[in-house]
Structure 1
């Protein structure tokens, strides 16, 4: 499992030890993300922000497949920033009917939400 850098919990204050990965200096722990959703699994470059697997799930409307994709994709930035980029580029779209996020970045050509059937604008 992927592990970049490390993190220490010093009485509620995190000490982050970053290492270079793809585009930046980060902390990233795939095992914590997958199996310990309440433990730190990611910290972006130039930030003291620390994210857990539960944070990724919350950012993705509790859609595990999208949370997995977001966790895999972050390599220097805040997950919120990458998510915003994917929405701006039309890779992810939120259905106005049910609120589910639809991943158009995987080659999906549907014009309707697979969850509720409402027409979706890409």
Structure 2
């Protein structure tokens, strides 16, 4: 009986000591002033809906990723569709971000912030 209690306490301590990683993805409109960006982002289980962003504005959402977590967005500005892009892919993005995955949409492409190198990298050119 005593051994079962000790085992139960050890299991509870192990579970409560494991911190769940929360990842936040932020996508900012870095387009020229007066350029309206529309993003429609979703995963296989969650549709974030279409969001309209003026220059300098951003959207962000948080989640607990697993190895299969993937979000993609359709990118449109001034009512002209640009591309559908993978905005977060747990399998790839673990190398560039863990908890803060910042993205910037510019006129020459979509940039992803590498929090380990403190640099912005263009992942999706528009041309």
* TM-score normalised by length of structure 2: 0.31
* TM-score normalised by length of structure 1: 0.32
Question: Relative to total residues, which structure has the larger helix share, 1 or 2?
Answer: 1
Using CA pairs below 8 Å that are at least 6 residues apart, which structure has the higher relative contact order?
2
